[in-house]
Amino acid sequence: MNSPKVVLVSGGTRGLGLATVEQLLMSGYHVATFSRTPSEAVTELNTRFGARLWASTGDLSDPAGLENIVHTVEHEFGPIWGLVNNAGIAVQGVLPTMAPQQIEDLVSINLTGTLLLTRLVLRRMILRSQGSIVNISSIIGIRGYAGLAAYSATKSALDGMSRALARELGSRNIRVNSVAPGYLETDMTQTLDSSQLTQLIRRTPLGRLGQVEDVVPVILFLLSPAAGFITGQTIVIDGGLTC
């Protein structure tokens, strides 16, 4: 019998990342995840799924820490077959008044850290000529939204990264895609006031905010052999907001 495939999910302790980790475990994968802070929800998943889940603290802005995470995951579980680049931060603010440190943090975590983690995993995937990567971008990177220029820049970059890597790695049997969620009912939308939420819902053809359950099945599909001829794509899941 083949061993379960191993998927590494960055930022898997809450929201979309946590839901992705849980569904991967329920689908039979071995899952590794890390985030900057521990999570009771992940502890509960450890109780349910035991040795099939490996979780640790880690920060995308720490290159040495990322290398240690990837090495440890492969030592504990075996070859990493799938990578979900989910971790990221969101900072609002019009660009002329944003503090330089805020911009640096967004780029360091959302883009540079994701590139470095992907580089580490790809160096191993290439040796085995197999793998699937899903980058979690955003509709913010597809359409312009006031006050989110820096965040949008980092998310647009992930879509570009998916397309370029798909070209580079197709001959190695490695697929790379993006999933671009719309506004979901997660921590990231809790900062919006009621009038902003009402306006978003009114502009969305399906008439509601998204749920993590709307997005997770697409992530699992793109990781799976069922998506074996899909690479370099950005799949938008936004209830029609950008149509």
Instruction: For residue range 111-147, list pLDDT tens digits in order.
Output: 999 999 999 999 999 999 999 999 999 999 999 888 9
Tally of domains in the chain? 1
Domain-embedded: residue 206: no
In a domain, 79, yes or no: yes
Position 225 in a domain: yes
Give the domain extent around 87.
6-183+211-237
Does residue 43 lie within any of the structural domains? yes
Give the per-residue pLDDT at 144. 85
Q: Using alpha carbons only, give the angle 186, 236, 219 rounded to the nearest 5 degrees.
A: 70
User: pTM for the full model?
Assistant: 0.95
Residue 205: inside a domain, yes or no?
A: no
Angle at 112 between CA 77 and CA 232, to 5 degrees: 75
In this predicted structure, what is the pLDDT of residue 160? 98
d(CA 20, CA 219): 8
Residue 200 domain flag: no
Res 188: pLDDT: 63
Is 227 inside any structural domain? yes
| Catalytic residue numbers, as ranges | 151
Is residue 121 assigned to a domain? yes
pLDDT of residue 3: 76
Between CA 144 and CA 238 the distance in angstroms is 15
Distance CA(23)–CA(28), nearest Å, equals 9
Residues of the chain with pLDDT under 50: 1
Whichever domain contains 48, its CATH number is 3.40.50.720
Question: What angle, 0 to 180 degrees and rounded to 10, lies between the N-to-C axes of helices 40-49 and 15-26?
Answer: 0
